[in-house]
Amino acid sequence: MSSSIDYNVLASWCQDAISILASTGVPDKIVGMQRTAVVKLAGSPALYSIADSLAEGLSHLPDEERVDASKVLIERHGFDFNLFVDRNMRKVCAVLRRGSIKNDSEFRVLADFSSDTTHDRMIVDLADGLLASYQTSKRASEDSDLLRIAKQMAALSPLVSLIDSQAAEEILAAAGKVHTENSESVHWWTALRSAETIHYGDDVAAWENILSQKIGEMDGNSLFVAITDDEQGPWPVLRLADKLILVELIQSLHYFEYMAFQEDGRRLLFDTHHNTIVFSSAHTL
């Protein structure tokens, strides 16, 4: 997309897109956060990242609702969500042709592409290789992306606090001994002693219902959340004083992979890039 779209027009487009998504059942708190973000970023190139996220949500609406949304946006602004979706595909093609990722924005677009199971496996493998190389390079040159995600999440609510790194390591080690054969693996859920795997696909409502149900099965009101995002540790750990806010917190941020578990570590779940929730329960710690 060129920079010719006036930022005021783009901000108005985003607000209308938010209204459309709100009518499909997006929680009021998330709608409020999104509207506030649009106002704060008005006049900034960062507004495009919000438009990208909203376009992704609109593109996954049921057929009839998606067509209606497209008509409304085109009538009011002259363009719909497909403009942003196509822009992301052009970014993916450019990165694959170049053979390297230049920045976090390209990384996120390529990660979204890689997580879509409908794409050709050979192309996805190529994308995964570029993603891994970029992560390795970043770890060698700057602070952890995982910690930045954790801090963003902690800033969203006074009910969220960041656990210090030593305590986080001890908490994860204890849970790892209970649930997995290899707690050093990036993909813990491939080595769980026993697990229930639920595939929710692209159905956001199904994801919300499944996650809410599994969180409800965990003991106590609080919850630990480890930010894993398909990376090697150390993984930052957050404590949620109210476990029920997890769904809203995840919805308010760009998607990342994480593990949530009750404070005694007996029950945990992974929400993975493969659109699955993996749930594990142990009788004793």
The one-character DSSP state at 235 is P
Query: Are 11 and 44 a contacting pair, CB within 8 Å?
Result: no
Tell me, what's the pLDDT at 3?
Answer: 37
CB atoms within 10 A of CB 219: 11
Q: Give the residue, 12 or 274, on which the prediction is more confident.
A: 12
Contacts (Cβ under 8 Å, ≥6 apart) of 56: 81, 84, 85, 112
In angstroms, rounded to a whole number, what is the distance separating the alpha carbons of residues 31 and 24?
A: 11
Q: Give the residue, 36 or 183, on which the prediction is more confident.
A: 36
pLDDT in tens, 26-37: 889 889 999 999
Tell me, what's the pLDDT at 183?
Answer: 64
| pLDDT of 241 strictly over 90 | yes
Tell me, what's the pLDDT at 242?
Answer: 94
Mean pLDDT computed over 35-55 = 87
Mean pLDDT computed over 157-183 = 86
Query: Are 115 and 274 a contacting pair, CB within 8 Å?
Result: yes
